Amino acid sequence: MNTIATLSKGEIGIISEESLDVIPLKLLEMGCLPGVEVELLQVAPLKDPLYICVNGSHLAIRKEMASQIKITFN
Amino acid sequence: MENPKPIKVALIGNPNTGKTSLFNQLTGLTQKVGNYPGVTVDKKQGTCRLSGNKTAIITDLPGTYSINPTSVDESIVLTSLLNTSDANFPDVIVVVADIENLKRNLFLFSQVKDLEIPIVLAINMADQIERKGISIDIETLQKELQTEIVLISARKKQGIDKVKNAIENCISVSSAKPLCSINHKIDEDYFKKLKGISDNHTLYELWLMITQNNFPDTLLSAEKRKLQEFMQDVSKVKRYQHKETIHRYKQINDILKTTYKVDQSKAKDLRGKLDRVFTHKIFGYVIFFGILLLIFQSIFDWSSAPMDFIDGQFANLGEFVKVQMNPGVLTDLITDGIIPGIGGVIIFIPQIAILFLFVAVLEETGYMSRVVFLMDKIMRRYGMSGKSVIPLISGTACAIPAVMATRTISGWKERLITILVTPFTTCSARLPVYAILISLVIPDKKLFGFFSLQGFTLLSLYALGFLTAMVSAFLLHKTLKVKSSSFFVAEMPNYKLPSLKNVIFDVLEKTKAFVLGAGKIILAISVVLWFLASNGPQSYTDSEKNIRENVANKNISPDVIQQKIAAAKLENSYIGIMGKSIEPAIKPLGYDWKIGIALISSFAAREVFVGTLATIYSVESDDDDTSTIKERMRAEMNPDTGKKRFDLPVGMSLLIFYAFAMQCMGTLAIVKRETKSWKWPMIQLFGMGALAYIASFITFTIFS
């Protein structure tokens, strides 16, 4: 299963529709929506948190959250 | 001609959009910080001159990504916008957006717009348009959003007058129409029924009331009951909120498709390069610890001169008042209670201002978010969050602003643990105590020929404080059973040069808040302690007569008699009685009742320890008044052993006691306010007290 947490640095995926229910409202509101591209920019030195760019927002989220958000590739 | 009523304006925007820069440009030095009723969130307001004799009162609302709040600060935004009957309800809202991240900024705009309050959209950092390869069709965007748009660059003072004009225009030509009609796209029947509840509120307002459980006073109780019925179906409300968010983004996307374009080839910038350095697995930490060292170094180096100056000025002021006023209770209250009390607060301003300066610069530049990113995993092992780093650093100046800085931590358990352990970090009030005790009991020698033993002791005490904070955080993490359901997200803003104006305003505001907030408590306790030390039961009143009778036929100089009287008075005063009554308890640690008095009075602020001992020994000592506190303390003997009172075991025991004990009423009060319960401050008081007692006992036993 592909999630944001399985992306490698610099890789881009698309958040899948079925992730809608697991994404917290706050993250949705910051632009992390199903159907949009998400790029993994940096991984913190201890492999967590992850630094992503989604819908123009640069965000740090924890691996725990990232591994619940499924993605697909074009 | 009478001045027209000022227009009430609220500034709303995402964090890091330059909202505060715009606020500073609009209001300048007129800004004031107050409090919202019932909560401790700062309310920043200022006035601004418009055309003619018209003015506006500008309120800077806390930065937020959405009007659906996830923290105390953010809930202020919603409350301010829902309560139409409130005296501060805005006539006009200015939404500040960042040109680079317009989509997310317009999300917040779309929510605010639906409240149907006259609105202006100020798009900031317009000077970056070309450099970032952005093209924007303002005219079409204005039509689509049905809102006047102003392009500004707040830092360069461009477009500020246009914002003022727009505020004036906006109120005369009301542009209040909803943008995203939420009803029919999601569930038409559901929202029709919801709208049917009240005629006085818009559908979106009613929807916010049920999703956020926030009911303004304007709502009738029957209406409130009906709304609460809607709240029963929690999962439906949650699902519709998600749908609403997606719906809003869809609509914004459609609008931006034709009006806003970014040439990606130009968009790649410095951010990536700097991120690679600042979050590097080695350099990242090296840079962070380098900055920490610089902060600590500056707090000590830069502040010693102004602190000495303040200390001297307050001593002079006390002397001056004593000479000018007639002797009496009032004079004593002023010279021995109030002036030292105020001085005890003012003395911390240099250190605190320097610390706030660093924090403000690090936050303005965007570097602080990288520290959060770098430290999150490490801090999580101790039950805290990456965002706990800022409070723990602030704690080295003062725990009070540090506890307030924990508000940015969204998880309650993480925040609570940070609040509970922050008082272990070595605050500046401990420093004078450490300094005098170390110079008394630690020999002035060099380790390995160059490393000062005294300096090493001080450094070890700092390390001890920090380690204890981390260890207790770990224990709390493993034992605390607190429900906490929130998740971590931190925006990584673009790097910016700090704006001098913003930094200065920020430092001024926070320092003022500290002086007024903590100052009140420290001052009040100083006055209480003064009262306890200068009053007592019958034995206190009799002490002068007894001494005079005792020495009546002996050949003793009047000075010595005065000192004996003063000592007897202190011993029989309320605080002397308190000191004596705790003596049995503190004897195992090596302390006598005089140190007991100093321990009790340290509750005002720890550094009062030095002053109290100075008072006790100055009223007792046989020397001339010119001897320093240190000399007097050195001369003090222990009658039981015939040795010096402040020898190595007692000194070490006291150092350990001050490192661990929770002797700060100000912090206890702020923890109570932030946790909304006496439970947590009491746990701190007794938990840290017990640790201090046991650790000091062990230290005393080992060194004796």
Task: Summarize pLDDT for B64-104 with one digit per residue, the tens.
Answer: 999 988 777 788 888 888 888 888 899 999 999 999 889 99
CATH number of A23's domain:
2.30.30.90
Contacts for B377 with CB less than 8 Å, ≥ 6 apart: A44, A45, A46, A47, A48, A49, B386
Return the higher-pLDDT residue of B178 and B673: B673
Are B68 and A25 in contact (CB < 8 Å)? Answer: yes
- To the nearest whole Å, the CA of B176 is away from the closest chain A CA by 23
Residue-level pLDDT at B22 = 93
Query: Domains in chain B, start-ordered, CATH in brackets?
Result: 7-172 (3.40.50.300), 183-267 (no CATH), 507-703 (no CATH)
Cα B393 → chain centroid: 12
Share of chain B above pLDDT 70, in %: 93
Residue of B245, B248, B374, B485 for testing the chain A interface, max A β-carbons within 10 Å: B245
- Comparing B38-47, B60-69, B138-147, B465-474, which segment has the lowest mean pLDDT? B38-47
Cα separation, B254 vs B97, in Å, equals 18
Cα separation, B556 vs B563, in Å, equals 11
- Comparing B245-249, B608-612, B694-698, which segment has the lowest mean pLDDT? B608-612
Rounded mean pLDDT, B263-287: 84
Tokens 């130009």, residue? B266
* Positive or negative: CA dihedral B462, B465, B471, B473: negative
Q: What is the 3-state secondary structure (H, E, C) of B406-440?
A: HHHCCCHHHHHHHHHHHHHCCCCCHHHHHHHHHHH
DSSP run (H or E) holding B249: helix B234-259
Helix orientation angle between B648-660 and B430-441, rounded to the nearest 10 degrees: 160
Tokens 């027209």, residue? B4
A27: nearest CB among B241, B378, B489: B489
- To the nearest whole Å, the CA of A1 is away from the closest chain B CA by 22
Cα separation, B367 vs B365, in Å, equals 5
Residue of B487, B488, B495, B496 for testing the chain A interface, max A β-carbons within 10 Å: B487
| B positions 91-110 inside 8 Å of A (CB) | 100-104, 107
Rounded mean pLDDT, B430-434: 85
Contact (CB, 8 A) for B403 and B391? yes
pLDDT at B336 over 70: yes
- Dmax over Cα atoms in chain A, in whole Å? 31
Contacts for B225 with CB less than 8 Å, ≥ 6 apart: none
Rounded mean pLDDT, B311-329: 83
Task: Summarize pLDDT for B670-699 with one digit per residue, the tens.
Answer: 899 889 899 999 999 999 999 999 999 999
In B, which residues are within 8 Å of A42 by CB distance?
Answer: 275-276, 279, 373
Are B241 and A25 in contact (CB < 8 Å)? Answer: yes
What does the buried/exposed string (b/e) look like for B5-20 if buried means 16 or more CB atoms within 10 Å of the residue's CB? eebbbbbbbbebbbbb
- To the nearest whole Å, the CA of B238 is away from the closest chain A CA by 9
pLDDT band at B624 (very low <50, low <70, confident <90, very high): very low
Tokens 């910080």, residue? B33
pLDDT at B623 over 50: no
> Please, how many CA atoms are within 13 Å of residue B673, restricted to the half-sphere of its CB?
19
Asked if A12 reaches chain B (Cβ–Cβ under 8 Å), the answer is no
Domain encompassing residue A11: 4-72
Q: Could you tell me where the beta strands, DSSP code E, fall in B539-632? A: none
Cα separation, B613 vs B446, in Å, equals 29
B491's tokens: 């925006």
Residue-level pLDDT at B625 = 46
Candidates A39, A44, A6; CA nearest to B385 is A44
Candidates B338, B336, B345, B344; CA nearest to B570 is B336
pLDDT at B436 over 60: yes
* Positive or negative: CA dihedral B453, B456, B462, B468: negative
Residue-level pLDDT at B465 = 94
Candidates B122, B9, B102, B106; CA nearest to B60 is B9
Residue-level pLDDT at B1 = 47
Cα B473 → chain centroid: 20
B347's tokens: 């003395």
Candidates A45, A30, A13, A50; CA nearest to B64 is A30
Candidates A67, A22, A16, A19; CA nearest to A40 is A67
Residue-level pLDDT at B662 = 92
Contact (CB, 8 A) for B567 and B632? no
Residue-level pLDDT at B303 = 79
Instruction: Fill in the amino acid letter for B601.
Output: S
- Structural domain tally of chain A? 1
> 3-state class of B132 per DSSP?
coil
